[in-house]
A and B are shown apart, each in its own frame.
Chain A
Amino acid sequence: MSTIAQKKGFGAVLWDYLTTVDHKKIAHLYLIAGGLFFIMGGIEAVLIRIQLAVPNNDFVSAGAFNEIITMHGTTMIFLAAMPLLFAFMNAVMPLQIGARDVAFPFVNALGFWLFFFGGLFLNLSWFLGGAPDAGWTSYASLSLHSKGHGIDFYVLGLQIAGLGTLIGGINFLVTIINMRAPGMTYMRMPLFTWTTFVASAMILFAFPPLTVGLTLMMFDRLFGANFFDVTMGGNTIIWEHLFWVFGHPEVYILILPAFGIFSEIFSTFSRKRLFGYSSMVFATVLIGFLGFMVWAHHMFTTGLGPVANAIFAVATMAIGVPTGIKIFNWLFTMWGGSVKFTTPMYYAFAFIPSFVMGGVTGVMVATAAADYQYHDTYFVVAHFHYVIVGGVVLALLAGTHYWWPKMFGTMLNETLGKITFWLFFIGFHLTFFIQHFLGLWGMPRRVFTFLPGQGLDAGNLISSVGAAFMSAGVMILLINIVVTQVKNVKVGNDPWGDGRTLEWAIASPPPYYNFKQLPLVRGLDAYWLEKMEGKKGMTPAEPIGDIHMPNSSFIPFMITLGLFIAAFGAMYHVNDKPWAIPLLIFGLAVTFGSMLVRSFKDDHGYHIHKEELTQDEKGAKA
């Protein structure tokens, strides 16, 4: 087989992606699917801002507004931010540790399809009688009260997507523990790999409570149980606890990989080793650990009592310490470095003040007594958008520019990239800064409109104008992507010229087996180390030999399709449709049948022979 791309028909490419188990192609799938959901969530955000631009607006109805805010939050967290981070984890993490693939390529594909079908199911609610409308937290008393199938779509869709995330996280953990190249000790792993590791461990511990919560909710809504129904002896607060036992770690699952992306960018474009590497690792692990001890700070006003409130408030403020360590380390990385202002570095530079502002308001809302004033106002909305957009989304945009050449072999246009940055950055602060004050002036969260003359008019209009700027930025990015891919100017191994980690030591995009010979890692920033000693590439740790590769498989798609069908059966069972239970059984039969086929069919993969590897090299030189 040759690594030189051959022209393939559309059908062949589609089939290739439907059956792929290659981590680089799965990364493309995550990026495309996550990008589509990001745009959908963005459109929902724009609808919210149009509705709130002027007082007494009737652009959308109150009911539709509830559906839009619910889907905006749910889509952005579960279907955009997580998958986009998974895209970079898949694309880069195996390369950074010098592995040929993740530990379980088949499970990796399964994880993607579970996320995709879960997201598809959730979004089909728009066409099948109304989307979920109880907010992204879906508090039980509200969601049990909700009519129609909206909440059922939420429960079943998130259950399927969550399963995908969970097995994806386990896969990354096993990969990092078991598949590091010779010499790649834990304390030589790049920071993005470290944050992937800690985030995956958090996924492992945080998603089971969500699964439990969703299962209880599913039984309450679809099968007549009463776990959360107070009138039947249930307890509605249990959902809130289960949701936040998951939900709080979830935001750290999002922000830690974002920190990892920025750590890579800071050290690459400061042309300097990351300042305080070991304290960065320590801070990452500590944030991951403390992230599980603070969930009740979302529930200060539910009446936990002063002792519980105080404990959770203090634990929350403690997280500021390791985060502060990180902020100073990034600043010291740039200090004295030879800083190059590329598009990713613009984002990284802007991230520090933006995220610190989100962190400061975080400590403010963590103060239990003060939180009684902030709770359920726009102040909270401003806070979490400052950390999630100012942290995670800026990291995603930075990572897109930074790793685009590694993922697709082409460089995004720097000028257009910087225009995107300025539009998005100005739009972001314009939209959300004023929302702090809207909150302090008394505007509650989740209201579909407001009256004129209450001092909220100008603030809301400014906020909506900011949303237009952000949309324009994203559109320029899309244009940039199309233009770049149409021009299709291929770049070499290390297009930024300052790559430090292993992914820059191999071709862009890497060959399907990644490393012909596993590299020998001699220190932190392994590739930089070799470059500084005047070598062209990594020293191989093994002779050229046969490479064992997994076969492509359509089974992950089928397993997931079965669950997707079964979810419809479970949902319409409530309406006493005669076909609902048979459909449920049929869907589960497809899933378990596919798993059975997978178990009984021996699939040993194939080998790339030594001769083919050496031929590739000759072909490339000629």
Chain B
Amino acid sequence: MTNQPLSSNRSRVDLEYRRKTNAEEMRYQIVSFTLMIFLTLLAFAAVAIKGFTSWFTIPFIVLLAAVQVVFQLYYFMHMSHKGHEAPSMFLFTGLFMGLIIVLAFMTIIWW
């Protein structure tokens, strides 16, 4: 990238294109950041408000956490971009293996 002459016509088009996509990206980041704050508030609220049993709050908070992880990976760590096929494949394989092991432990050790 550093070797490309900046003054050429082509790179000016590139620059405008990049500015546009960056702005779009920024918008997504702000939206997901706001959502994440909102989800965090929801999680706190679920604990603070009297009347919910732990049978509701614990799965609810875990669910919110999972959503936050997805936001984090896809919008802040750029996994939604192209060229991340290998990392996402490894991530999901690892997740799958981990969940299988947890499931097995839950059913055959701590039953």
| Chain A, Cβ-Cβ closest to B89 | A201
Which residues of chain B are near A245, meaning CB under 8 Å? Answer: 101
Which residues of chain B are near A241, meaning CB under 8 Å? Answer: 104-105, 109
How many A residues touch the partner, as a band? 10 to 19
Q: Does B62 contact A (CB under 8 A)?
A: no
| Nearest Cβ on chain B to A439's Cβ, whole angstroms | 27
| Nearest Cβ on chain A to B47's Cβ, whole angstroms | 29
Which residues of chain B are near A238, meaning CB under 8 Å? Answer: 105, 109
- CB of B109 within 8 A of CB of A235, answer yes
Interface SS majority for chain A: helix
Q: Does B6 contact A (CB under 8 A)?
A: no
Which residues of chain B are near A308, meaning CB under 8 Å? Answer: 104, 107-108
Within 8 A of B (CB), among A207-264: 209, 235, 237-238, 241, 245
- CB of B109 within 8 A of CB of A292, answer no
Q: Does B90 contact A (CB under 8 A)?
A: yes
| Chain B, Cβ-Cβ closest to A288 | B93
Which residues of chain A are near B108, meaning CB under 8 Å? Answer: 296, 304-305, 308
Within 8 A of A (CB), among B44-85: none
- CB of B107 within 8 A of CB of A205, answer no
Interface SS majority for chain B: helix
Which residues of chain B are near A296, meaning CB under 8 Å? Answer: 104, 108
Q: Does B97 contact A (CB under 8 A)?
A: yes
| Chain A, Cβ-Cβ closest to B105 | A241
Q: Does A177 contact B (CB under 8 A)?
A: yes
Q: Does A204 contact B (CB under 8 A)?
A: yes
Which residues of chain A are near B107, meaning CB under 8 Å? Answer: 308
| Nearest Cβ on chain A to B46's Cβ, whole angstroms | 31
Within 8 A of B (CB), among A45-92: none
Q: Which of A177, A205, A293 contacts B93 (CB 8 A)?
A: A205
Among the interface residues B94, B100, B108, B109, which one has the most CB atoms of the partner chain A within 10 A? Answer: B108
How distant is the Cα of A293 from the Cα of B86 in the complex, in angstroms?
Answer: 22
Q: Which of B86, B90, B101 contacts A209 (CB 8 A)?
A: B101
Which residues of chain B are near A289, meaning CB under 8 Å? Answer: 93
- CB of A293 within 8 A of CB of B100, answer yes
How distant is the Cα of A289 from the Cα of B107 in the complex, in angstroms?
Answer: 21
Q: Which of A204, A293, A304 contacts B90 (CB 8 A)?
A: A204
How distant is the Cα of A245 from the Cα of B104 in the complex, in angstroms?
Answer: 11
Which residues of chain A are near B93, meaning CB under 8 Å? Answer: 201, 205, 289
How distant is the Cα of A285 from the Cα of B17 in the complex, in angstroms?
Answer: 40
Which residues of chain A are near B86, meaning CB under 8 Å? Answer: 177
How distant is the Cα of A572 from the Cα of B109 in the complex, in angstroms?
Answer: 34
How distant is the Cα of A305 from the Cα of B97 in the complex, in angstroms?
Answer: 22
Given contacts A205-B94, A305-B108, 8 further A-B pairs with CB under 8 A are A201-B93, A204-B94, A209-B101, A237-B109, A238-B109, A292-B97, A293-B100, A296-B104
Give 10 pairs: A residue, B residue, CB < 8 Å, sorted on A: A201-B93, A205-B94, A238-B109, A245-B101, A292-B100, A296-B104, A296-B108, A304-B108, A308-B104, A308-B108
> 9 closest pairs, A vs B, by CB?
A308-B108, A304-B108, A292-B97, A177-B86, A205-B97, A245-B101, A205-B94, A237-B109, A238-B109
